[in-house]
Structures are given as structure tokens and as C-alpha cells.
Amino acid sequence: MGDYNTIHRGEDRMVGSPVTDAEIRYFNDYLRDTSMTILKHIGRDFTWTNGHTYNRIDWALVNTR
């Protein structure tokens, strides 16, 4: 579990800079390559803000191998 400083999909950022395909692709490639799955979360939708941009960048990952 940790602060990966990256988003999983476009809905993980509200306001701020546009989400790029590369941002999403790199993290999703990592998940696929390591067979990791994002655990379901409870609580607020966004884990980081600077007052005007909201991001979900903290993830709990699990590997069932």
C-alpha cells in the first residue's frame, strides 16, 4: 500500500491538468506485468489535493500469485 503518484484512469483526477494516455498506460502496464490488483477502497474518492486539483494517487495493491 502506498503513494504511487500516478492515476489508474481518467476519473482519478478532477480539475487540473488533463490526464494523458501515458500516465494511465504506465501504471496499468505495471499492474499487468506484476499481476497486481487494486484493492477496493472505502472513504473519500481523492487522496491528494492542492486546493484546486484532486487526484487519487494512493493505492493498495495485492498479488495473488
Residue-number span of the structural domain to which 7 is assigned: 2-63
State residue 64's pLDDT score. 75
Model pLDDT for residues 19-33, shown as the tens digit of each residue: 889 889 999 999 999
Is residue 63 within 8 Å of residue 35, measured between CB atoms? yes
Number of domains in the chain: 1
Distance CA 25, CA 5 (A): 14
Distance CA 41, CA 35 (A): 19
Residues of the chain with pLDDT under 70: none
pTM over 0.85? The answer is no
Distance CA 4, CA 61 (A): 10
